[in-house]
């Protein structure tokens, strides 16, 4: 005899919905909370960063230096309330920007936002191949419409960005800038001033939208890191 399967969700018996009765005894179907949880888990699994989420937790970020505490504070505040919608994290490899960016991304996915993680170099290559194609804007639209877009190693491509690279960067940043409610996380080795030197329109949009959520870690000759607002 087959043993009956025990439902994981006792509220809806894994149907995904249950009958809800309001004060006027009106009955209607309501989506069960377990569905939101399932969506969140699915989002996290397909984000491409699932294996990183365990390690990259905001709570686990160590703050032995003052600038690390400042970084963490900005990241935590942004994950709770992304006021101006852009989080800008600039610094050298090893300063902790990737850990915090990933941690913020995870916290936002846990709230139920849809999210997309992209590595700049790969996305740039893909879009540059399509730039004269009519599908270019369809591809761009995928980056525009997602609730949270996390771009890792923004503008990094081995050499200085070319004119074609800058065009793609502008199209992405501008579409995120215009998208009402969309959140963007940028992790980069470029300081904002350097980005503005490359392209003023990109730099000014990032500056405007990352007010209060800008982290810039510069390293001096002795490889000490410093926080810059
Ligand atoms: Zn349920």
Supply φ then ψ for residue 30, to 5 degrees: -125, 135
Nearest-angstrom CA–CA distance, 129 and 144:
18
Q: Can you tell me whether residue 228 is helix, strand or coil?
A: strand
| Exposed/middle/buried for residue 165 (C-beta within 10 Å: 0-12, 13-18, 19+) | buried
CA of 90 to the centre of ligand 1 (A): 42
What band does 152 get if pLDDT is binned at 50, 70 and 90?
very high
Decide: 180 and 105 in contact? Cβ < 8 Å. no
pLDDT single digits (tens) 90-119: 998 888 999 999 999 999 999 999 999 999
Domain ranges of the chain: 8-46, 48-228
Nearest-angstrom CA–CA distance, 115 and 106:
9
Q: Mention the CATH class of domain 48-228.
A: alpha beta
- What pLDDT is attached to residue 117? 95
Decide: 216 and 91 in contact? Cβ < 8 Å. yes
CA of 33 to the centre of ligand 1 (A): 6
CA of 13 to the centre of ligand 1 (A): 6
Decide: 15 and 32 in contact? Cβ < 8 Å. yes
Q: Does the pLDDT of residue 66 top 70, yes or no?
A: yes
Long-range contacts of 18-22 (CB under 8 A, 24+ apart): none
CA of 31 to the centre of ligand 1 (A): 8
Q: Does the pLDDT of residue 147 top 80, yes or no?
A: yes
CA of 44 to the centre of ligand 1 (A): 19
CA of 36 to the centre of ligand 1 (A): 9
Claim: this prediction has a pTM higher than 0.85: yes
- What pLDDT is attached to residue 1? 52
Alpha helices (runs of H) in the chain, residue ranges in sequence order:
33-46, 50-53, 66-80, 97-110, 120-130, 136-145, 163-178, 192-198, 200-209
């Amino acid at each position: 005899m087959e043993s009956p399967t025990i439902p994981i969700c006792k509220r809806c018996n894994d149907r995904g919905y249950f009958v809800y009765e309001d004060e006027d005894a009106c009955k209607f179907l309501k989506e069960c909370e377990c569905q939101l949880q399932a969506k969140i888990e699915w989002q996290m699994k397909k984000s491409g960063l699932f294996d990183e989420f365990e390690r990259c937790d905001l709570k686990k970020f160590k703050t032995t230096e003052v600038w690390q505490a400042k970084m963490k504070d900005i990241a935590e505040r942004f994950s709770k309330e992304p006021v101006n919608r852009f989080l800008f994290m600039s610094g050298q490899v090893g300063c902790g920007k990737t850990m915090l960016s990933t941690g913020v991304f995870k916290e936002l996915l846990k709230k139920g936002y849809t999210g997309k993680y992209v590595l700049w170099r790969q996305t740039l290559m893909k879009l540059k191949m399509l730039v004269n194609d009519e599908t270019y804007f369809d591809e761009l639209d995928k980056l525009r419409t997602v609730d949270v877009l996390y771009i890792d190693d923004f503008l990094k491509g081995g050499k200085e960005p070319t004119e074609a690279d800058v065009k793609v960067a502008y199209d992405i940043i501008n579409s995120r800038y215009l998208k009402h409610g969309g959140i963007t996380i940028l992790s980069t080795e470029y300081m904002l001033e350097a980005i503005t030197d490359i392209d003023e329109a990109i730099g000014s949009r990032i500056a405007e939208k990352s007010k209060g959520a800008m982290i810039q870690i510069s390293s001096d000759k002795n490889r000490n890191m410093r926080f810059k607002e």
